[in-house]
Amino acid sequence: MHVLQKHRWAPFILAGPSFAIYTYFVIVSIGYTVYYSLTKWNAISKPVFLGLKNYADLLQSADFRIVMENTVTGLVIALILQVGLGLLFAYLIFRTRRAFRLYRALVFLPVVLSPAAVALMFTLVFNADVGPVNAILKDVGLTSLTRNWLADKNVVFYAVLTPMIWQFIGLYVVILLAGMQSIPDDVIQSATIDGASSFRTFRSIVIPMQWDIIFICVTMITSGSFKAFEHSYIMTWGGPGVRSAFLGVFMYNKTFLSAQFGVGTAIAMVILVATLVITVIFRSITRRLDY
Amino acid sequence: MSHTRKIDKSSSRLIARHRFFVALRHIVLALWSVTTLYPVIWVFLNSFRDNSQIYVNPFALPNPIILKSFPQVLQGAQLQIAIPNSLIYAAVTVFVTVILAAMTSFYLSKFPKRNGFLYTYFILGIMIPVHALLIPLFVTMRNMGLLNSRLGILIVYVATSLSFAIFVLTGFMRKGIPDELIEAAVIDGYGPVRIFFRIALPLTQSGIATVGTFTFLGIWNEFLFALILLSKPALRTLNLTVYNLRGQYSSDQGLMAAGATVLIVPAILIYVIFQERVVKGLTAGAVKG
């Protein structure tokens, strides 16, 4: 808008406050994260410069390996369920005329709840004495499968993963559904007239036209698995040990419980670099698919 | 005659097949809806029961209905403090973020002078996970004396909300405000401030509503920053106080259920009232890598 150009002070007044707040508290903070991660620091005395030692120590640490295994396992399961089942459910809703809006509203409901509330809910659901999981297993005669879900180190990770997947699958269903609704009606109609079965339409028309949206979901789920925190922290504090911990909880414990700010920020850097790399790679793939 | 009967027969078979699949579809979707709703309803019902009822049968309806958990949550969690706190944090963050982001977006979308770099600079923040900011912001706030202060957490919330708001609002203003309108306003002697308030803001209402809902729910549900920045009970958010119940009364199932219910009900109400807006706001967050 050239007519506005003559107001030379306007850019500073308009963009200045956001620029200052964003630069100081976001961009400069990243700089501090990088710097702290190269030091040994308890947040009180002077930081001691270590170079890359924190990173080397992390790679050696058994706890870090468990946490990374948790992250990758959780990611694979989340991709299968949230994208796989998500696509199926989205398509079922897409092909439903009656109660379309009702189903969509219901599946999206958990997305709006606070992760803390959902974590608290599932703490009760997995309660060994009164939780419905054990109660149902007992009722159907599978008493041998009942567990102390939040304390048994072999299953605790899956107990923590369940609410994470349960809560956000609806988000991906709604995103995928929006993508399906953008497919022109006549494409679907002519497939039906040509005698394509519902499944055939799904496989040959819906999926190929959805690749970019599926990719957005994959990006979100992948970077989300590096950012997981609340469910694991609230249900088990990541324990026993780090059995049910994700990187966020590991970082929190190292920083605020053991006062190892250097190690904590090194873990933060792992989260930052992983999410940035994933986002950039997937974005460029999506863009290539577009053209 | 016999010919039509044949057609009737095969088409009725087709119709039967079709009906079967429609039914199957509804069964699958209904089962899934139950999986979605059941934990919420179970927790809600148990908030009206006490341990003796819950331990006898986790699935029974409240009988008799026991209301003691709610007053206890009210007291233990200090809801009369926590709910206003959460409301204040969310409302102030939305207000400040929307004003600052709208001003910035107005500049980015309507002043063409090579500001592409600035736009990218702001948008970068969408990709930065809060975890990468957590520790330095804790240190910065401590050094500024803003730990355990409303101002401190509000600054953090606004700073981390700006990028997404600028991204959405710049998009809305580029498409939604015709350049001719601004030219006409300038000819009529309007300055940038008046153009911003009289033209830009009103024409971006729908974008503002989307950003507002997204930001409000995000802050209402926020846990991590509140956990490290606020330890003083008088400043705690609803999320945080209910979480603390888990430590204090972890053996009282009814009480924990009541705590979860107190967290869930307001979010569900917001969702039911503003459904379309909420869905749009949160899926617009889809681009939020």
Per residue, what are the HEC states of B59-95? Answer: CCCCCCCCCCHHHHHHHHCCHHHHHHHHHHHHHHHHH
Nearest CA in chain B to A116: B239
C-alpha distances in angstroms, A212 versus A138, A178, A179, A223, B174? 44, 12, 9, 17, 24
State whether residue A45 sits within 8 Å of chain B by CB: no
- Predicted ipTM of the assembly: 0.91
Work out the number of other CB atoms within 10 angstroms of the CB of residue B31: 10
Taking only residues 79 to 138 of chain A, the set having a beta carbon closer than 8 angstroms to any beta carbon of chain B reads: 89, 92-93, 95-96, 98-99, 103-117, 120-125, 127, 129-132, 135
> What confidence score (pLDDT) does residue B7 get?
61
Query: Considering the domain boundaries, does residue A56 fall inside one?
Result: no
Cβ distance A198 to B112 less than 8 Å, yes or no, reads no
Residues of B whose CB is below 8 A from A113: 221, 263-264, 267-268
Q: Which residues of chain A neighbour B42 with C-beta distances below 8 Å? A: 125, 132
Per-residue pLDDT, A110? 93
Of B108, B110, B133, nearest to A26 by CB-CB distance is B133
- Show pLDDT as tens, one digit a residue, over chain A (291 residues): 466 767 778 888 899 999 999 999 999 999 999 999 999 999 888 999 998 999 999 999 999 999 999 999 999 999 999 999 999 999 999 988 778 888 889 999 999 999 999 999 899 889 888 888 888 888 888 888 888 899 898 999 999 999 999 999 999 999 999 889 888 888 888 888 888 888 888 888 888 888 888 988 998 899 889 999 999 999 999 989 999 999 999 999 999 999 999 999 999 999 999 999 988 888 788 776 554
Please identify every stretch of chain B with a pLDDT value under 70, giving residue numbers as ranges. Answer: 1-8, 74, 76-77, 113-114, 250, 285-289
Q: Give me the residue from B182, B260, B270 closest to A117, CB to CB.
A: B260
- Residue A40, strand partner residues: A48
Q: Which neighbouring-strand residues pair with A49?
A: A39
Q: Does B73 touch chain A (CB under 8 A)?
A: no
Residue B266 touches chain A, beta carbons under 8 Å: no
Q: Report the C-alpha gap between A272 and B132 in whole angstroms.
A: 6
The pTM is what?
A: 0.90
Please report residues of B whose CB lies closer than 8 A to that of A121.
Answer: 39-40, 43, 260, 264
> Which CATH homologous superfamily contains domain B76-287?
MetI-like (1.10.3720.10)
Per-residue pLDDT, B77: 65
pLDDT at B289: 35
**What are A208's two structure tokens?**
């190929």
Whether B107 sits inside 8 A of A269 (CB atoms) is no
- Measured between its terminal Cα atoms, the distance across chain B in Å is 64
Residue A35 domain-assigned? no
Smallest Cβ–Cβ distance between A223 and the set B106, B160, B289 belongs to B289
- Cβ-defined contact of A108 to B134 (cutoff 8 Å): no
Please answer yes or no on whether B33 and A120 come within 8 Å at the CB atom.
no
Spatial separation of the C-alpha atoms in residues A154 and A147, rounded to whole Å? 10
The answer to whether the Cβ–Cβ distance between B264 and A234 falls below 8 Å is no
Interface test with B, best of A29, A46, A103, A247 (most B CBs within 10 A): A29
Angstroms from B1 CA to nearest CA on chain A: 27
Q: Scanning every residue of chain A, which has its alpha carbon at the shortest distance from the alpha carbon of B179?
A: A1
In a domain, A101, yes or no: yes
Count the domains in chain A: 1
Residues of chain B in contact with residue A131, where contact means CB-CB under 8 angstroms, are: 58
A77: closest CA of chain B, how far (Å): 18
The pLDDT of residue A257 is 93
Residue B1 is predicted with a pLDDT of 47
B/e letters for B70-106, b = 16+ CB within 10 Å, e = fewer, are bebbeebbbbebbbebbbebbebbbebbbbbbbbbbb
- Flag whether residue B91 sits within 8 Å of chain A, measured between CB atoms: no
Q: Do A29 and B137 touch (CB under 8 A)?
A: yes
Q: Where residue A179 sits, what CATH number does that domain have? A: 1.10.3720.10
Q: Which domain holds residue A275?
A: 62-290
Q: Which residues of A touch B287 (CB under 8 A)?
A: 216
Residue spans of alpha helices (H) in chain B:
2-46, 51-56, 69-76, 79-110, 116-124, 131-143, 150-176, 179-187, 192-195, 201-203, 205-220, 224-229, 238-248, 253-273, 275-284
Domain ranges of chain B: 2-46, 76-287
Do the chains contact at A21 and B156, CB–CB below 8 Å? no
- The whole-number pLDDT of residue B157 equals 97
Best to test chain A binding among B45, B87, B115, B134 (most A CBs inside 10 Å) = B134
- The answer, for B264 touching chain A at a CB cutoff of 8 Å, is yes
Q: ∠ CA B85-B89-B90 to the nearest 5 degrees?
A: 115
